A and B are shown apart, each in its own frame.
Chain A
Amino acid sequence: MLEKLGQTIKKATDKIANAIFLDKNLVDSIIRDLQRALIEADVNISLVKDLSDKIRKSALDERIKGIEKKEHIIKLLHDELVSILGDYKPLKLNTGQNRIILLGLYGAGKTTTIAKLGNWYAKRGKKVALVGLDVHRPAAREQLQQLGEKNNLNVFVNFEEKDAVKTWKKCEKEKKFKEYDLILIDTAGRHTLDKELVQEIKTLGKEIKPTETILVMPADIGQAAKKQASEFQEALKISGVIITRMDSTAKGGGALTACGETKAGVYFIATGEKINDIEEFNPENFLSRMLGMGDLQGLLEKIRLVTDEKQQEKMQKKLEEGKLSLEDVIEQVKSMNQIGGFDKIKNMIPGLGNAKIPEELIGAQEEKVKKWEHILKSMTPKERENPELLKKQTSRISRIAEGAGVNNSDVRALLKQYDMLQDMLKGGVDNMDLSQGFSQKQMQKMMKKFGKKKMMRFK
């Protein structure tokens, strides 16, 4: 998603690093490239101008003892980018009941994001309830309710009430309401010019006394981002921002930098339609991922999100016993897909982000997994528990392939995957503790194996 911008910035730093002498022409051409990339990422134009002025100035004038000028510029560029992205401000929950209001423009993704947030915190052991106060848009409350049902989240809605404030009062009176640690409140889409809706949210604010007021903004918003962010900030005192649609080719520059300016930190970014497509935003990690340096922290967080504790314990036991069935392999690969497939994972792994993996390959990978499930169903229980049988009696492979409606090679591919995982386990089961997540080294090792074999085979 951010590869292009990342590549340009990386190229710029490489150019600086490799230059024998930083003359004006070189600096100018680097700055021009940077400007283009940033503008294309919808970064606010005055910010782009400031940034380029700063770099030009330090490249041509400043002298700092002890550090080479090139290093100084690269560091400056990095620092500036981090500073326009804003500080790292994770959303912190207090003890007692937290009340978080989400608001934003129409169609920014508030309702979808509420469900994702609810799921995020539910997986982290919080008691979460969603409250639907969007009384204006048709079926907004139904949407929230359906999302809640699908993801086992409690939802408070009132289909009769046509006033948001009254709805809230009714919800608050319900007995169970006080039991929840976290109340996530969905509101109608609005823009700041609509006085009625601004008034509504202000009264809601007084009634609810939210611990956080979060603005939801789409990543593809253009030069209007700054105005929107500052107007919402002014009218309603935003405490943080969530940026949606980060899965488009938009780089979110407008939204991200706008937030940097309002000093309301970005809490989360949302990267897709699925419930798990949300991640905490950390400017440093984000930047390093953008520049192709990987973001392991983000990946680990995601892994933690998709595999809940029970599943991890089960896996842990099996690993300790050194026994792995084919079902486990498929479970493993499926959870990979829940993270968002290979495409999303690769961006988070150091060194893989810039690796060119053909799109068909990623698609093929997902296709494969679908087939594997059929293959599994065509096996006898004995075969599932003991895949070595298949290698000894290859006629079984043909039988299974026919039963599952796949080619023999598909069955073999599954067996290879099994072998790979088995190999990996033999390598380092002792210090593999899944509840702590993978260590960086292990992850790299795993990915290297995973990536290498897969890529070679599909090429």
Chain B
Amino acid sequence: MFSKLKEKLKNWTQEIIKKKVVDEVEKKAKEEIKEKKKEEKVKKKLTKEKKKEEKEQKKKKEEKEAEKIQEEIKPVETHELIIPEKKEFDEEERKIGEQIIEDIKKEEEKAGFFKKVFSKITKIKISEEEFEEYSKELEMLLIENNVALEVAEKITEMLKEKIVGKEFLKKEIEAQIKFAFEDIIREILIEPFDLIEKIKLKKAENKPYVILFCGINGTGKTTTIAKIAKLLNAEKLSCVFAAADTFRAASIEQIKQHGEKLNVKVIAHEYGADPAAVGFDAIKYAEKNKINVVLIDTAGRMYTEKNLMAQISKIAKICKPDTKIFLGESVTGNDATEQARNFNETIGIDGIILSKADIDEKGGTALSVGYITKKPILFLGTGQEYDKLESFDKEKFIEKLGLNKGEEN
């Protein structure tokens, strides 16, 4: 699950750094070169001015000296005059030489410039445009991993809020983006509650704990119920099945066969009976016989069928379940959001179980339904056998994304 996402995310963050740093280096290099050029220009100007001044001074000196000479002409001989002039000339030559050496030094500095700048940039700011460019990639990446478009857009938006315009240390940028991303996933996925704990609490009150299962056709409600029964059995909790799918052919036989194998009592009416009544009877049976849990299996229903949705809300009203579980498939694409949303709006679900997680290695559906309903994912169905039911571990899920803080890079 998510192996591709992990790898791609890494690439993405690395790319963002590389590009960012190169950009930054180029920019800074250009800036510094510009500055240096400016400085040089200024220096050149200054030296020119100096030279001018010097020349003027020289002229003045010469004039003065000439005057002096003229004054001295009388007492001093002419050949003496040449010597100071020569000295001054030497000085000027020396100055020019120094300037050349300085220039050469500067050239040398430029060569090592990139290295220097690279180590100098420790802070990076990601601009909106830069993020846009990469967010498209991230979005596609999420969609490829079966996250619904709507949710993928939301996630990138949240990430944008977290990282655009903020300064990051260069060394930490990949980690920082990861943390930001991790925070978002953490926010989206609600921490699953301990179902068994809740059941035990209710058991202490001597009341049966009622769980209602709903979802569209063929998601694996009946199979999952059997798996839950097995789980309860291991916890020494008794349960009863309510065969409230009175519509689909042989649905009652199906749950009865599970009941036989698991040694669980099944409360059933005939086909076409009112499913709410089946649930109600099962609860009464549990109360009478001190059974801890009632598992209500309902018919798969397409949320576009108004009447069937009215029916499920009637079942919920009459049976007053302690927990309402929506069953989704890990392989469902964009429609997962619609399914989860509609069931959540109709009966207000408490938790989600995703079946068929063994088929799909992408895992994006968990994010989609988690985000839409803001409800926790409790279990993953991972096969046909009764023990193929994994509790959903949020940390493990994040770990599989390659996002947990403990891991290096």
Contacts and interface: CB of A to CB of B under 8 A. Distances in A.
B55 to A, nearest CB: 61
A45 interface: yes
Interface stretch (A140-148, A319-327, A396-404, A417-425): A140-148
A186 to B, nearest CB: 12
Contacts of B364: 222-223
A191 B302 contact: no
A139 B250 contact: yes
Given A106-B384, A138-B257, A221 B358 contact: no
Contacts of B336: 220, 222
Contacts of B247: 273
B322 interface: no
Contacts of A219: 335
Contacts of A272: 302
Nearest to B215: A107
A272 B150 CA distance: 26
Contacts of B333: 42, 220-225, 250, 254
Residue from the set A136, A143, A147, A224 with the largest chain B CB neighbour count within 10 Å: A224
Interface string A19-52: 0000000000000000010011110010000000
Interface residues of A, number: 50
Interface in A160-185: none
B380 to A, nearest CB: 14
B360 A224 contact: yes
A303 to B, nearest CB: 23
Contacts of B257: 138-139
Interface in A228-276: 228, 244-245, 247-250, 254, 272-273
B249 A136 contact: no
Interface stretch (B141-149, B171-179, B289-297): B141-149
Interface residues of B, number: 50
Contacts of B334: 39-42, 222, 250
Contact of B331 (A105, A193, A249, A359): A105
Contact of A40 (B149, B218, B365): B149
A378 to B, nearest CB: 25
A273 B360 contact: no
A150 interface: yes
Interface in B134-174: 140, 143-146, 148-150
B335 A42 contact: yes
A38 to B, nearest CB: 10
A105 B359 contact: yes
A363 interface: yes
Interface of A: 1, 36, 39-42, 45, 105-109, 111-112, 115, 136-147, 150, 191, 193, 218-225, 228, 244-245, 247-250, 254, 272-273, 359, 363
Interface of B: 140, 143-146, 148-150, 216-220, 222-223, 247-251, 253-258, 261, 302-306, 329, 331-336, 338-339, 355-356, 358-360, 362, 364-365, 384
